[in-house]
């Protein structure tokens, strides 16, 4: 599909900011949004009318195909403010590449790189006061695309809307989480859309996650759809297992999302000379390691939570507690990532991207 844009970005500023109405010390993740948003429409084979405008509701037909066939993909990114007031993004190129990869898998048009980055930078610059300094504070960035063609015929849409929203955020999880290893429900299957950030992937997780919460667990570690023998992802995050001093994680496939935080953790581990094995991880080997005491840590890795340690897991009604690691891999990687993201340390990988 043609992904050219017909014009540069039109900027419409708010008359007065809503920032004074926000209690930044008591934020619920993803519920408050900044003054402006970006939108761009795909019609007649091209992206048109890229606009930054005041945040507000949309008018959309109830017959728009997104509501009927689920053509929608999204990304999750963050902006950080350092001690000198500079604002930084973290590996935005990866998010740009992935949203287009997701779009292709969902038969949606790719978005132009120049407009993506111009919109992203201008939007964050415009609402930079919403990026609060201090470790744990950030501005969550949500690019997404949805099908807007009117009609309920079962075919790909010919019209789409690309948008970017900004939401001030604090730490996603305040403590360790307890998880259930799935032995019935699945997140994705071979040949499916597990590797895409398709909206439906996440909606399908809510029911089994609710079942886990009824039993006192916060998240589910998903297993393969065929036999539920292999560990894949944890909730909305990639998942890592530390057995003795070796780090294990499932390989990227068409079932597993190529997480930006995941690949960053792997790079940090290799820099620190930690052995990393990207391979299929059996449920049985992790249960056995827990029984023998060689399973030291489990943690999730994702944009919203960064690193989320697991304090216990349950499998087939048996619960295994994990000892708290005072100087564990999870805490080490989280500190190293945050130090890079907040410009508190050197960035040997060139991951930081200054908004200026």
Model pLDDT, residue 50? 98
Among 6-15, 288-297, 317-326, the minimum mean pLDDT is found in 6-15
Whether residue 207 sits in one domain with residue 83: no
Mean pLDDT of 288-295: 98
pTM reported for the whole predicted model? 0.95
Whether residue 116 sits in one domain with residue 236: no
| 157 band by pLDDT with thresholds 50, 70 and 90 | very high
CATH code of residue 67 = 3.30.470.10
Whether residue 181 sits in one domain with residue 160: no
Residues above pLDDT 70, as percent of the chain: 97
Whether residue 217 sits in one domain with residue 90: no
| 171 band by pLDDT with thresholds 50, 70 and 90 | confident
**Residue 38: closest CA among 160, 131, 163:** 163
Q: pLDDT, tens digit, for every residue of 33-62? A: 999 999 999 999 999 999 999 999 999 999
* C-alpha to C-alpha distance for 181 and 115, rounded to whole angstroms: 41
* C-alpha to C-alpha distance for 102 and 73, rounded to whole angstroms: 6
Q: At what angle do helices 260-271 and 329-341 cross, to 10 degrees?
A: 110
Q: pLDDT, tens digit, for every residue of 61-108? A: 999 999 999 999 999 999 999 999 999 999 999 999 999 999 999 999
Six-digit token string for 328: 């564990």
Whether residue 271 sits in one domain with residue 193: yes
Model pLDDT, residue 145? 98
Does position 195 have pLDDT exceeding 50, yes or no?
yes
* Element housing 120 (H / E): helix 113-126
Whether residue 328 sits in one domain with residue 185: yes
Whether residue 336 sits in one domain with residue 272: yes
Q: How many CA atoms lie less than 13 Å away from 349 in the CB half-sphere?
A: 19
Mean pLDDT of 136-151: 97
**Residue 70: closest CA among 163, 191, 197:** 197
Whether residue 90 sits in one domain with residue 206: no
Whether residue 223 sits in one domain with residue 126: no
* C-alpha to C-alpha distance for 93 and 80, rounded to whole angstroms: 16
Model pLDDT, residue 174? 62
Whether residue 54 sits in one domain with residue 181: no
Q: Which of 169, 203, 226 is the last residue of a domain?
A: 169
For the chain, the domain total comes to 2
Q: Which of 169, 192, 221 is the last residue of a domain?
A: 169
On whether residue 353 sits in a domain, the answer given is no
Whether residue 203 sits in one domain with residue 265: yes
Q: pLDDT, tens digit, for every residue of 246-288? A: 999 999 999 999 999 999 999 999 999 999 999 999 999 999 9
| Containing structural domain, residue 45 | 10-169
On whether residue 199 sits in a domain, the answer given is yes
On whether residue 3 sits in a domain, the answer given is no
């Amino acid at each position: 599909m043609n992904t050219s844009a017909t014009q540069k970005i039109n900027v419409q500023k708010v008359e007065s900011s809503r920032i004074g109405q926000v209690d930044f010390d008591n934020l619920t993740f993803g519920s408050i949004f900044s003054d402006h948003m970006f939108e761009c429409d795909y019609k007649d084979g091209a992206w048109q009318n890229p606009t930054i405008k005041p945040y507000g509701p949309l008018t959309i037909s109830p017959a728009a195909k997104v509501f009927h066939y689920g053509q929608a993909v999204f990304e999750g990114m963050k902006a950080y403010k350092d001690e000198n007031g500079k604002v930084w993004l973290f590996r935005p190129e990866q998010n740009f590449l992935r949203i287009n990869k997701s779009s292709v898998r969902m038969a949606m048009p790719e978005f132009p790189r120049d407009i993506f980055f111009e919109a992203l930078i201008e939007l964050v610059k415009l609402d930079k006061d919403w990026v609060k300094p201090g470790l744990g504070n950030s501005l969550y960035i949500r690019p997404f695309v949805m099908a807007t063609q009117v009609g309920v015929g079962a075919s790909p849409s010919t019209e789409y809307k690309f948008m970017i929203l900004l939401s001030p955020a604090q730490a996603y999880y305040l403590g360790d989480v307890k998880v259930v290893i799935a032995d019935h429900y699945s997140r994705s299957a071979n040949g499916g859309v597990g590797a895409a950030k398709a909206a439906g992937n996440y909606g399908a997780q809510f029911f089994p996650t609710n079942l886990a919460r009824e039993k006192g667990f916060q998240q589910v570690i998903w297993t393969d759809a065929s036999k539920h023998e292999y560990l894949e992802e944890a909730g909305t995050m990639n998942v890592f297992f530390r057995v003795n001093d070796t780090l294990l994680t499932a390989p990227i496939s068409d079932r597993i999302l190529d997480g930006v935080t995941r690949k960053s953790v792997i790079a940090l581990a290799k820099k620190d000379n930690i052995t990393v094995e990207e391979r299929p991880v059996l449920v049985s080997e992790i249960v056995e390691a827990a029984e023998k005491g060689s399973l030291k840590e489990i943690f999730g890795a994702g944009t919203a939570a960064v690193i989320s340690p697991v304090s216990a897991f349950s499998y087939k009604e048996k619960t295994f507690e994990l000892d708290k690691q005072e100087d564990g891999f999870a805490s080490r990687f989280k500190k190293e990532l945050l130090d890079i993201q907040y410009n508190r340390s050197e960035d040997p990988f060139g991951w930081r991207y200054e908004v200026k």
